Amino acid sequence: MTTLREVVAYEEELLAGSAPLRRVHAEAVARGRAGVRALHEADGVADPQLESRLERLYAEVLDDYAAGAAGLLSSEDTDRWRAFVERLPANGPMTLLREHGVPGAARLFDSMDLAREGPESKGGLDTALSAAAKRCVCGYATTRVVPRQLCNACARAVGAAWVAEERSLLQRAPGLGAEVSEVLDEVTSDLAAARSKGTDDSFSTEEAALFRARRALARAHRRHRKDSSILDLTRWEELAALARRASLPAMRAEARRGRRRLGTAQLAQLALYGNRDVDARRTR
């Protein structure tokens, strides 16, 4: 028996060795995650058809990825990967991967599946703040008077709305969006590895990972200046300004460093200890 995590670890080694494969993979991740979020927004989590719609989407994205990756994989690697997948537990994504997968598919599945549990911010900041009102100790959730520092409940509501705004902007700039997804995907794994170690220096390892991600986001924005110049960042900036007042130091720090740089809102979430996406990739 093997675990999905072990298959993903094997795939990460393969991906690390091939830049063209990484590119095809990152594009598939971006498309898959956007597809999952679009389904959630269109039909809502309560839709009884959601599961089967998601399954169809996963299969489609995996097929597309397999077609794009076909010339980039050796038959040895593919055979070894198949043997791995056969040993996965039958109640998981094993059938999906066996029928639609090639090396990289387990990680792609994992990334899409994580997108299912995005921040619950569909109604925007007002809805998130109303939900936070009972736990608010700074007054902002009820009065909307901006305090010097936003309490944890309000900061989390702001963070979720900021991420939602950022994602919808990035959907309008696909080139930048794909590259930002790639950066975030990588930093998620790096943070998970650092937090799994739990040693004294894991904090500095995390800092280094966040630093690299900020630089990579800056580079992505330079490369896609045309893309980002057509976007209206007004709302994103307003939410970033609020996030700079967060009582959560990690969120505040990212908000202060990532001025006008899309990806920062999501990076600020990943930087928070206990982030779900990061924890899902931790090895213990």
- CA triple 134-135-141, angle to 5 deg: 70
**Contact stretch for Zn ion (CB under 5 A) within 72-80, 139-147, 249-257, 275-283:** 139-147
The reply to whether 243 sits near Zn ion by the rule CB under 5 A is no
The pair of three-digit structure tokens given for residue 33, joined into one six-digit string? 């995650």
Which whole-number Å values give the CA distances from 37 to 51, 80, 122, in the listed order? 13, 32, 10
Q: How far apart are CA 195 and CA 34, in angstroms?
A: 27
How far apart CA 146 and CA 187 sit, in angstroms, is: 31
Closest by Cα among 105, 11, 122, 24 to 58: 105
Residue of 58, 140, 162, 236 that binds Zn ion (CB under 5 A): 140
Among the candidate windows 15-23, 135-143, 195-203, 212-220, which touches Zn ion by CB under 5 A?
Answer: 135-143
Say how far apart CA 144 and CA 247 lie, in whole Å.
16
Contact 154, 160 (CB under 8 A): no
Is residue 248 at the binding interface for Zn ion, with CB under 5 A as the rule? no
Span near Zn ion by CB under 5 A; candidates 106-114, 118-126, 144-152, 268-276: 144-152
CA-closest candidate to residue 5, choices 103, 110, 97, 77: 110
**In the complex, least distance from residue 154 CB atom to Zn ion, rounded to whole angstroms:** 3
Stretch that binds Zn ion, among 94-102, 152-160, 190-198, 256-264 (CB under 5 A): 152-160
- The reply to whether 151 sits near Zn ion by the rule CB under 5 A is yes
Among 7, 102, 154, 160, binds Zn ion (CB under 5 A): 154
| In the complex, minimum distance from the CB of residue 113 to Zn ion, in angstroms, rounded to a whole number | 32
What would the x/- binding string for Zn ion be over residues 85 to 124, using CB under 5 A?
----------------------------------------
The footprint of Zn ion (CB under 5 A) covers 136, 138, 140-141, 151, 154
